[in-house]
Amino acid sequence: MIELISADRCISCGLCVKVCPTNVFDGAVGEVPRIARQSDCQTCYMCEAYCPVDALYVAPYADKSVPVDEATLQATGLLGSWRATLGWGAGRTRLAAVDTTPFLDELEREIERSA
């Protein structure tokens, strides 16, 4: 579930408040949002994808809250990693444009043949 809103990075655009499917955040445009209803978080990672400055981090645990450390997340490259994978943001190649899903069947057949 959502664990971090980095006040240093946040530009108070309000996008995460609007984008969250389960209405986890509170806060008006112009202020740093608050995680107001953490237990309603469905761990869908969408807020992270939409955050233009990588200020959010969603931990992978559906049912428990874990402590996170912003400096560590930054150092390990996890902060902003989903947006980077999606290829969202200036100068990036969109994941959709390099999607390898259509080649999974062929890979499976190849593995079956060599097994």
Partner 1 sequence: MSVGVTVSGAAGPERDVLEADVLVIGGGPAGAWAAWSAARHGAQVVLVEKGYLGSSGATAPGGTNLLYVPPDPVLREAAVADRLAAGGQLNEVRWIHRVLDGVYESLALVEEWGYPFVRDAEGVPLRNHLQGPEYMRLMRRVVRRAGVRILDQCPALELLADAHGVGGARGLNRLTGRDWEVRASAVVLATGGCAFLSKGLGCNVLTGDGLLMGAEVGAELSGMEFSRAYGTSAEYGTVTRNRLLNFATLYAADGTVLPRRSRDAIARALLRGPVYAVLDRADTPDKRALLRRSHAVFFLPYDRAGIDPFRQRFPITLRFEGTVRGVGGLRLVGDDCRTTVPGLYAAGDAASRERSHGAITGGGAYNAAWAICSGRWAGAGAALYARTVGAVRDRRLKPVGRAGLRPENGAGRIDEAAVVEAVRRQTVPLQISYFRSEPVLRKALSQVDSLWPAVHGTPGRGIRERVRAREAAAMVATARWMHTASLTRRESRGMHILAEYPHQDPAQAHRLVLSGLDHITIRPEPVPQGGAA
Note whether 44 binds partner 1 by CB under 8 A. yes
Determine what percent of the chain falls in helix, strand and coil, rounding each to the nearest 5: 35, 10, 55
Query: Which member of 6, 10, 13, 42 binds partner 1 (CB under 8 A)?
Result: 42
7/107 with CB nearer partner 1? 107
Among 98, 97, 108, 4, smallest CA distance to 53 is for: 4
Region 46-65 residues binding partner 1, contact defined as CB under 8 A:
46-47, 49-50, 59-64
Among 7, 8, 5, 9, smallest CA distance to 17 is for: 5
Contact 65, 3 (CB under 8 A): yes
Note whether 84 binds partner 1 by CB under 8 A. no
- Measured from the CB of residue 7, what is the shortest distance to partner 1 in angstroms? 21
Note whether 11 binds partner 1 by CB under 8 A. no
